[in-house]
Amino acid sequence: MFKTIMLATDLSPAWDEIVACAGEFRALGCSKVILTHLISVKFMMGMEGRLRAEARPKLEAQKAKLEAQGLAVEIEMPIGLPAYSINEVARCGGADLIVMGSHGQSLWREEVLGCITCAVLHHVQYPVLLLNVKIKEGMTRGACRLQATELLRHILFPTDFSETAQRALYYAEFLAAKGASKVTLLNALDVPGHEAYPPGYQEWAETAARKLLAAWRQRLLKAGVKQIQTRLDPSHPIPAILEALKTQDISLLVMGTQGKGFIKEIFLGSVAHNVSRLAPCPVLLIPPATR
């Protein structure tokens, strides 16, 4: 499912660390990488040739590191706006997954260009893996020093049981087949304004959610996950997700980018990027199939 992965590098030192750990993607089935560096022309008209020439040696160095980890590599340097150019490269290259870093040089770029990551998330047509670049101490440069390794150790999967969440479940089942050993299924009930609902609605909603969590748990067990726990949280989804990330040793957060309620709310405006940066682990975002 993730045979071809696009790495959307900004050529920062943080991305050198991600490239050094690219062998981790082989656990997801990756054999080919589209190493992509976007030349944004929003404030740089007439400088495309110079920017390409400056970027080429750094891209070649990253390509060599990727090839040394057993991956086939193609280099792309599209010119345009991120929200559309990233999708186009992924489409033309047949990418199954886009990997973006949420720390590094891209932080100041977002201040200037208007939140690149958020713009991409609004329009993305492919699954996106966001990596927070945190370095393990005491390791030499050039080795895989990211804390974001062993992606499949413990997956947190928040769901609202929407159509997009169903699509994310297919990806969770795929990850199960790749060796995911533990999954926490989370549903944040969040029924606001209880007085607006008929008597017993809260209890009905909780019962329905528990049944669906049990059914999804069975699907993941069948897919091969050995340990699954379910959580029903009465609070709003954002604090519910952050609390789960804080209290458990989560290696990967998997979620849909739009749903029937809270997921859609989370991924409006810049909130998606803020949630992703707050997560102490990588975040795999699954867009709707209709995009």
Q: What is the pLDDT of residues 113-123, one digit of tens each?
A: 345 666 676 77
Residue type, 264: K
What gap in Å lies between CA 6 and CA 2, rounded to an integer? 10
pLDDT tens readout for residues 55-72: 999 999 999 999 999 999
Q: Starting at the edge strand that comes first in sequence, how are the strands of the sheet with 227-233 ordered?
A: 72-76, 32-36, 4-8, 97-101, 128-131, 283-286, 252-256, 155-158, 182-188, 227-233
pTM of the model: 0.86
Q: How many alpha carbons lie under 13 Å from residue 231 in its C-beta half-sphere?
A: 19
Residue type, 259: G
Q: What is the mean pLDDT of residues 86-96?
A: 93
Quick check: helix, strand or coil at residue 128?
strand
Q: Answer yes or no: is pLDDT of 268 > 60.
A: no
**Regarding beta strands 283-286 and 128-131, do their DSSP bridges make them parallel or antiparallel, or are they unpaired?**
antiparallel
Q: Which domains does the chain have, with CATH numbers?
A: 4-131 (3.40.50.620), 155-281 (3.40.50.620)
pLDDT tens readout for residues 151-203: 899 999 998 888 888 999 999 999 999 989 899 999 987 766 555 667 777 78
Query: For the chain, what is the mean pLDDT?
Result: 81
